[in-house]
Every structure is written in C-alpha cells, then in structure tokens.
Amino acid sequence: MVDEFFKRYPTPKDCVSADSDGMYKLLKPLGLVNKRIKTLKRFSDEYLNKDWSTPKELYGCGKYADDAWHIFCKGDWRNVEPSDHALNNYHEFLRTIF
C-alpha cells in the first residue's frame, strides 16, 4: 500500500492536487480515511507553502516526527530528548559511539 501511494503521489505537490476519491480507495483499508486524506493534503500544502523550520510546525506532526527529523535529517541528535522507545534506542546507540 505504501509503495502504491508513493507511485501515485511521489511529491507533496502531487498529494495536494490529488483527487480525493483516488486517495479514498487507496487509504480506506487503514480506517479513518477522511481524516487521513485531510491530514495528508494539509500537511503537504503546509510543507510546500508555509515558512516552517521544524516539522512540529506542520499539521499532523508532533514530537515523534520532530525528534526523528532532528536525529535523522539534521544530525542534531545531541539536542533531542526523544520519548519514543525506538528513537530512544537509536539515541542511546549514538551516545555510545560518539
């Protein structure tokens, strides 16, 4: 399902301009499909058009997304205190090697 989603909507622009009916059929098995479509479209629009500096400023993103972005994308893991167990494991691993 994820592969198919990214084949159909490879960029945020594609997601924003996507036909909601097509997204509905693809995402329906996940449940809460109308909410997911709204979130994907609004997030993609803000990603493209909002002046943001961290993911927590974007619709639908919380602490996990923000922490993951700082750790994996920015390499700023030293200034993050994750609360997710998997991020904590990786964070602790980084502390042991650096």
Residues classed as catalytic = 84
The 10 Å Cβ neighbour count of residue 31 is 8
Nearest 5°: phi and psi at 73? -95, -40
- Tokens representing 17 are 């301009």
User: Mapping DSSP to helix (H, G, I), strand (E, B) and coil, where does residue 38 land?
Assistant: helix
The 10 Å Cβ neighbour count of residue 43 is 20
